[in-house]
Amino acid sequence: MADCIFCKIVDGSIPSKKVYEDDKILAFYDLEPQAPVHVLVIPKQHICCANAVDESNADVIAHIFTKIPEITKTLGLDNGYRIVNNCGDDGCQSVKHMHFHILGGKKLNGQMA
């Protein structure tokens, strides 16, 4: 999708530090990490947000979750991690291409909001 920075990361026109890639998804380090390890996992296809998940694209979201154990193992997050998805304005979603934050590398704050 034009003007989507994560679509541009997928097509390589914006560089990223990749952690994992296959035909459906990409994982790369967040530019402004909020934990010792902070990686974003995205579908390659443009899905704006959790509100846009439906039967036609649910397979790629399921695929992300089947790959997260492999990705987090590569990152050394053996003691656990947090998965965050922000949706919409109240959820403080700044990039409108659905993504899951993987945060870890320390004992995280127990507060969610």
Active site residues: 99
Distances (CA, A) of 16 to 26, 38, 100, 104, 113: 10, 13, 16, 19, 28
Nearer to ligand AMP (CB atom), residue 37 or residue 55: 37
Among 7, 20, 30, 48, indicate the residue that binds ligand AMP (CB under 6 A). Answer: 30
Q: Among residues 60 and 95, whose Cβ is nearest to ligand AMP?
A: 95
Q: Lay out the site mask for ligand AMP across 94-113 (x = CB under 6 A, - = otherwise).
A: xx------------------
Residue from 1, 14, 58, 108 touching ligand AMP (CB under 6 A): that is 14
Q: How far is the CB of 93 from ligand AMP (least distance, A)?
A: 4
Amino acid at 59: D
Residue whose structure tokens are 């003007």: 3
SS3 content of the chain, % helix, strand, coil (to 5): 25, 20, 55
